[in-house]
Structure 1
Amino acid sequence: MIDVHELTKRYGDKTAVDRLSFTVQPGQVTGFLGPNGAGKSTTMRMIIGLDAPTSGTVTVGGRRYAEHAAPLQEIGTLLEARSVHPGRTAFAHLMALARTHGIPRSRVDEVIELAGLGSVAHKRAGAFSLGMGQRLGIAAALLGDPEIVMLDEPVNGLDPEGVLWVRQLLSGLAAEGRTVMLSSHLMSETALIADHLVIIGRGRLLANTTVDAFIENAGGRGVKVATAEGERLRLLLSGPDVTITSTTAEELVVSGLDSRQIGAIAVEHGVPLYELTPQTVSLEEAFMELTSDAVEYHSAPADTARRRAA
């Protein structure tokens, strides 16, 4: 378990993390999300003692990270995949880490195979592609067979097979009862992997909830209904709390009634339906709505950028 309590980090007059509190529970994958500049990297660095908090506390498995005699066996982390001496081979890098914790060579061989590095284990890391560097970083995080795993952008640079491998790996670790914390900008991938979400903006907590509850609370876009009797159905569904818009003569988008209610009304009045589909928001849309006021860097619209370039 990772327990963050009233964590604050200031750099001069800038507050990077502001009284942040949350808990990463075992047995699930927790997505740690936020816009650029939200304080995610600073928070993760404080979790493993690379940065000292201005105030507040953070514990890993019930202790501060620095109090663990063998931290690699408590929490495995990937914060920067390229933090490897370019002249060392993948095998040599992992063996150097293993020796600091009394980890046997057999475990090094295991994580090399687990990460798909067998064919490049004795090649220098400086020649690795971004994806292979990510695999080496994940292998290092898993080296101590830790109960807690914290990864920052683990699928960055991976091909589809690698992305699927990371997805299955993290889900498997959580299923074993381990604590998994994942930071990513890929909302579609986070939606597939994560069970729980911790979302921050400008260093403050914005949401701490399950993925399903977060999307549900963000609301939907109504229910899409297709029928040859669009105008008749519109009249049947109309009410003071119901909004109906049309995309075509045979398609309606209904807000204020759910699919079950719409279907029951249609059956009662003999209106045939060809489609009845809830139009839910995606994790990305819900995230963008929540963090719209917490984005530190705003891009110019594409047409504005083109005009400036001209």
Structure 2
Amino acid sequence: MIEARQLTKRYGETTAVDGLEFTVRPGSVTGFLGPNGAGKSTTMRMIIGLDAPTSGSVTVNGKRYREHTAPLQEVGALLEAKSIHPGRSAYNHLLAQAQTHGIPRRRVDEVIELTGLQSVAKKRAGQFSLGMGQRLGIAAALLGDPATVMLDEPVNGLDPEGVLWIRNLLIGLAAEGRTVFVSSHLMSEMALVADRLIIVGRGRLLADTSVEDLVRQAGGDAVRVATADPAGLRDALAAPGVEVVGQAGSEELEVTGLSARAIGTTAAEHGIALYELTTIQVSLEAAFMDLTRDDVVYHGTTELAERAA
């Protein structure tokens, strides 16, 4: 379990992390989301002692990282996939870590097989692609068979098979009762694997919630309805908290505030025929963008695209 209490980090006049409080519990995948510059990497560095908090605290399994006698067996972390000696083979990189932490050699073979590195285990890590470097970084994170796994952008550089592999790996680790904390900008992946979400912006906590609750707060589900009598259906559905939108002359309506089942039941009660009844779910990406739009530090521009058009 990871616990942050009023966690704060300042660099001069810049506050990178501002009083963060959250708990990452075992048995689930917790996604760590936020725009670039939100303080995610700084927070992760403080969790494993690479940066010292200006104030506040963060613990892993009840202790600060440096207080653990066998830290690799408590928390395995991937923060930078290429932070390895380029002239050392993948096998020797893992073996060196194992030998300095009292981890048996057989565990090196196990994580190499787990991450699919068998065919390149004796090659120099400096020759690895970004995707293979990611696999090696994940192998190092799992080397101590840790109770807590923390990965920063683990799918970067992975091909579709690799993305599926890491997705199943994360779900499997959580199912074993481990604490899994994952930072990612890929909302589609977070929607598939995360049970909880911790969302930050400009170093502050914006939300500690589930995917379902975040989507619901962003507008929930809308329902697309096609009917021969849109005016009649609009009148039948009229109620507090229900919004019905449609264009004049169109058979299609978009309804929020009612489920597809409720709409279908109401239409049947009023003898209104329906041609289509489709739930349109707000995406995690849309909900995330809505939540963080005032906390984006680095804004791009569409000027070139507009000129090209």
State the TM-score bracket (shorter-chain normalisation). Answer: over 0.9
1:154 is the counterpart of 2:151 = no
Q: Distance in 1 between matches of 2:266 and 2:308?
A: 55
Matched position secondary structure for 2:113: helix
Paired position in structure 1 for 2:294? 293
CA distance in 2: counterparts of 1:167 and 1:200, whole angstroms = 23
CA distance in 2, matches of 1:69, 1:242: 58
Deviation (angstroms), 1:162 = 0.5
| Aligned alpha-carbon RMSD (Å) | 1.7
Q: CA deviation at 1:227?
A: 2.2
Which amino acid letter does the alignment assign opposite residue 228 of structure 1? A
Q: Which residue type is aligned with residue 207 of structure 2?
A: A
Cα deviation per residue 1:88-115 (whole Å; 9 max; x = unaligned)? Answer: 1100100011011111111000000000
Post-superposition CA distance 1:132-160 (Å, at most 9, x none): 00000000000000000000000000011
1:86 paired residue number = 86
Corresponding residue number in structure 2 for 1:60: 60
Tell me which residue corresponds to 1:180. 180
Residue 136 (str. 1) matches residue 125 (str. 2)? no
Most deviating of 157-166 and 233-242 = 233-242
TM-score, L = length of structure 1: 0.95
1:2 to 2:5 alignment: no
* Paired-residue identity, %: 69
Q: Shift of the alpha carbon at 1:70?
A: 1.2
* Cα-to-partner distance string for 1:198-234 (whole Å, 9 max, x where unaligned): 0011101000011211111111363211223334323
Shift of 1:240: 6.1
Which residue type is aligned with residue 46 of structure 2?
A: M
Counterpart in the other structure of 1:273: 274
Distance (whole Å) between structure 1 residues aligned to residue 298 and residue 91 of structure 2 = 40
Aligned twin of 1:305: 304
Alpha-carbon distance between aligned partners in 2 of 1:225 and 1:71, rounded to the nearest angstrom: 56
Letter in 2 for 1:254: V
- Cα deviation, 1:226-248, whole Å, max 9, x if unaligned, reads 22333432343345654322267
Once residues 195 and 255 of structure 1 are traced to their aligned partners in structure 2, the CA distance between those partners, rounded to angstroms, is 25
| Equivalence map 1:6-21=2 (5 Å) | 6-21=6-21
Q: Which runs of 5+ in 2 are unaligned?
A: none
SS in 1 for 2:131: helix
Is 2:236 the partner of 1:263? Answer: no
Indicate the larger mover: 165-174 or 233-242. 233-242
Aligned to 1:171, the other structure's residue is in SS state helix
How far apart are the structure 1 equivalents of 2:79 and 2:120? 22
Instruction: Assess if the C-alpha contact under 8 Å between 1:226 and 1:251 holds in 2.
Output: yes
Structure 2 CA distance for aligned equivalents of residues 168 and 222 of structure 1? 30
**Across the two proteins, how many residue pairs are aligned to each other?**
308
In the superposition, relative to structure 1, how do residues 254 and 103 fare at CA in structure 2: closer, same or farther (>3 Å)? Answer: same
* 1:57 alignment partner AA: S
Quote the Cα distance in structure 2 between the aligned partners of 1:16 and 1:110: 38
Please say if residues 220 and 279 of structure 1, whose CA atoms lie closer than 8 Å, have aligned partners that are also in contact: no
Partner Cα separation in structure 1 for residue 212 and residue 221 of structure 2: 16
2:295 counterpart SS class: coil
Cα–Cα, structure 1 residues 153 and 240, in superposed 2: closer, same or farther, change >3 Å?
A: closer
Q: Which amino acid aligns with 1:5?
A: R
Mapped partners of 1:188, 1:131: distance in 2: 19
Are 2:114 and 1:114 aligned?
A: yes
